[in-house]
């Protein structure tokens, strides 16, 4: 099988490790295969792909889209390294308000599946990083929402001291005040 699937600390988040085949030409790997992902519970259709490049210390997030345009995401880093974070927003969930974070890098080639009902963000820890993520819904500005990156109730341990954020990301509400229509 070209992938290993493991549950994160929050079990609805799945960490996917691809098999990498190396030879004198470089390497080859499958980054997504619908049948393998479906066999491990990831059955959604991915309808949009996004690619970002950011320098060290940039935080993008914590973003989500509300129903009916909520997004599941498959996230991987193509170049560099990021600390990737997902926060459970589903009221009634045993892990509501908890976050999980992991390093995604061009070297470890991991992908993370974040289901709808989670806020997502990442911090660039290398000199720069390029992140590719596929979503289960197209971007909808009218359904966009977020949670402030430094919410004390979440206490996310970002690995870079001098963080930079967009004006929008600096002004999201705390989780307790967020516009959230997710239920477990």
Only one residue has tokens 């239920």, namely 183
The CA distance from 111 to 182, in Å, is: 24
- Structurally, at CATH architecture level, domain 44-177 sits in Sandwich (2.60)
In this structure, is the dihedral angle defined by the CA atoms of residues 147, 150, 155 and 54, taken in order, positive or negative?
A: positive
pTM: 0.95
pLDDT at 2: 86
Separation in Å, CA 159 to CA 1, 72, 112, 156: 33, 25, 19, 9
Active site residue ranges: 63, 133
pLDDT classification of 152: cutoffs 50, 70, 90: very high
Q: Mean pLDDT score of the chain, rounded to an integer? A: 97
Q: What is the pLDDT of residue 1?
A: 60
Give me the mean pLDDT over the 131-138 stretch: 98
* Contact (Cβ atoms closer than 8 angstroms) between residue 29 and residue 18: yes
Residue 16 has pLDDT above 70, yes or no: yes
Q: Domains of the chain: which residue ranges?
A: 44-177
């Amino acid at each position: 099988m070209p992938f290993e699937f493991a549950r994160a600390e929050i079990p609805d988040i799945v960490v996917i490790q691809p098999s990498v085949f190396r030879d004198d030409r470089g390497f080859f790997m499958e980054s997504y295969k619908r049948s393998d992902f479906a066999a491990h519970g990831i059955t959604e259709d991915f309808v949009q792909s996004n690619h970002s490049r950011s320098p060290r210390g940039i935080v993008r997030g914590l973003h989500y889209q509300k129903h009916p345009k909520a997004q599941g995401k498959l996230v991987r880093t193509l170049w560099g390294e990021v600390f990737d974070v997902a926060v459970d927003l589903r009221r009634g969930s045993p892990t509501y308000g908890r976050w999980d974070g992991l390093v995604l890098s061009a070297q470890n080639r991991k992908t993370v599946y974040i289901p709808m009902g989670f806020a997502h963000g990442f911090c660039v820890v290398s000199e720069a990083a390029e992140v590719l993520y596929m979503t289960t819904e197209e971007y909808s500005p009218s359904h966009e929402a977020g949670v402030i990156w430094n919410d004390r109730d979440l206490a996310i341990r970002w690995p870079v001291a001098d963080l930079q954020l967009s004006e929008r990301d600096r002004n999201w509400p705390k989780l307790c005040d967020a516009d959230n229509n997710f239920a477990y």
